[in-house]
Amino acid sequence: MLDIRFEKTKQPKEKPADSVLGFGRYFSDHMFVMDYDKAHGWHDARIVPFANLSIHPASTVLHYGSEIFEGLKAYRIADGSIQLFRPEENIKRMNNSAERLCLPQLDPEFALYSLKEFVKTEADWVPHSEGTSLYLRPFMFGNDEHLGVHSVDHATYMIIASPSGSYYKEGINPVKIMIESEDVRAVRGGTGYAKCGGNYAASNRAGAKAEEKGYSQVLWLDGVHRKYIEEVGAMNVMFKISGEIVTPALSGSILPGITRKSCIEVLKDKGYKVSERLISVDEIRQAMKEGTLEEAWGTGTAAVVSPIGKLMYEDMEYIVNGQKIGPVTQMLYDTLTGIQFGRLPDPYGWIVKIQ
Ligand SMILES: *Cc1c(COP(=O)(O)O)cnc(C)c1O
C-alpha cells in the first residue's frame, strides 16, 4: 500500500461554534490529495494544509467536466469516539462513477485506509453538539493539460472535510417539492447512476425555477416517457401507499443512494412490504386524490430522511399527511441516526470505528 506523507499546518484555524455551522461553509485544517498518471498509477498520497489548488487552464475538468464525488459523514458518539457509516459503500460507488466517466479506479482498501487516516488527522474538527457531524467530501477529477477530447491520463483524488450543523436544528419540517415536467436529470445509458458534478450542473435550471415558485427541490421524472418518478434533487424518494412502501427501482438513471439502500434494509427487517418498481406520476396523483398516499419522503446522507409535505404537479398542489412527518419516516430517521450516532446497537454491521 502507498505511504501517506503528512505535512502539518502551521496555521491551525479557529473552529467555528457548532451553532453557526450550516452546511459546507467551513473547512478543516488539512486535505488529502493523491495524483494519478497512466505510467505511475496513483502516487504521492499526502495529507497537507488545506489550500487553494493550482490548475492548468486547459485542465480536463475545467472544459469537459470529468469530475465525480462522494459525500459521507464522521459522527462523534457519546463516549467521544468517532465513527463512519458504511464508508465501503461510498468507495464502491466512487469506483462505479469512475468507470462511467473513464477516470481511474481507486484501490478500495487504500481508499478506506486513507479516509480513516484523514479523519484521524482532523478528529478535532468533528463537532460535539447533538446532530452535528464532519461532512467528508472525497472527489476526483481529470487533470490532463491539453484540450484534446479523450479519456484522461492524469487525475487527482482528494478528500476535504467540512464541519456541519444539525440538518434539523428547528425540528423536522416537511419540504415542498415541485415535480419537473420539462427538464430531465438523466436517461438510461447516461450518467444518472454516477455521482458526477455534471448531473448537478444540468439540474440547476429546474432547481432555480422551483425555488422561484417557493419549492425547495425538484422531483425528476424519467427522460423517455416523462411519466415515471425518478428521484428528488440530491435524494432518492419513497412513498407509502395503502400501507406498502414503494420506491423507484434502480434503472440506470437514478443515483443508488446508500441511505436508500439502508432504509430498504431497515424497512424489510421491521416487516414492511417494500417494492422497488416503476411508479408513474399518475399513480402518485391518484393516490393523493384518493387519500391513500400516506407518507412521502426523500433519503440522502445530508438529511437522512426528509418528509415531503407538499407536491406540485402541473400547477396543482397536493398536501401529504397534513404536512407532518409520518410514523414510518420518523422511524427511519430515529433508526438510522440512532445507529450513526451510536445511540442504538448496529445489528447490520454498518459502523466503521475511527478511534
Ligand atoms: C448523493 C445523492 C443521493 C443520495 O445518496 P446517499 O448515498 O444516500 O447520500 C441521491 N441522489 C443524488 C442525485 C445524489 O447525488
**How far apart, in whole angstroms, are the C-alpha atoms of residue 193 and residue 89?**
14
Q: Please write the tens of the pLDDT for every residue from 164-222.
A: 998 887 778 899 999 999 999 999 999 999 999 999 999 999 999 999 999 999 999 99
Ligand 1 atom closest to Cα of 256?
Answer: 5
Question: Among the atoms of ligand 1, which is closest to the Cα of residue 235?
Answer: 10
pTM here? Answer: 0.97
Residue 288 reports pLDDT greater than 80: yes
Is 154 a pocket residue for ligand 1 (Cβ < 6 Å)?
Answer: no
**Confidence category of residue 33, pLDDT binned at 50, 70, 90:** very high
pLDDT category of residue 151 using cuts at 50, 70 and 90: confident
Ligand 1 binding pocket includes 258 (Cβ within 6 Å): yes
Q: Is the pLDDT of residue 344 over 80?
A: yes
Instruction: Report residue 92 as a C-alpha cell.
Output: 464502491
Residue 246 cell numbers, joined: 414503494
Domain boundaries, the chain: 5-164, 175-340
pLDDT digits (tens, 9 = 90+) for 230-287: 999 899 999 999 999 999 999 899 999 999 999 999 999 999 999 999 999 999 999 9
Each residue's pLDDT tens digit, 81-133: 999 999 999 999 999 999 999 999 999 999 999 999 999 999 999 999 999 99
Domain 175-340 has CATH 3.20.10.10: yes
Cα 187 versus chain centre, distance: 19
Domains 5-164 and 175-340 share a fold: no
- Asked if residue 137 lies in contact with residue 67, where contact means CB atoms within 8 angstroms, the answer is no
Q: Is the pLDDT of residue 21 over 90?
A: yes
pLDDT value of residue 58: 97
- Measured at the CA of 98, the angle between CA 95 and CA 99, to 5 degrees, comes to 90
Q: Which atom of ligand 1 is nearest to the CA of 261?
A: 8
Atom of ligand 1 nearest to the CA of 93: 7
pLDDT greater at residue 143 or residue 149: 143
Retrieve residue 266's grid coordinates. Answer: 431497515
All cell numbers assigned to 29 = 485544517
Among 89, 137, 255, 262, name the best residue to mutate to test ligand 1's pocket (greatest count of ligand atoms within 8 A of Cβ): 255
* Ligand 1, pocket-test mutation among 236, 304, 305, most atoms within 8 A of CB: 236
The fold for domain 5-164 equals: D-amino Acid Aminotransferase; Chain A, domain 1 (3.30.470)
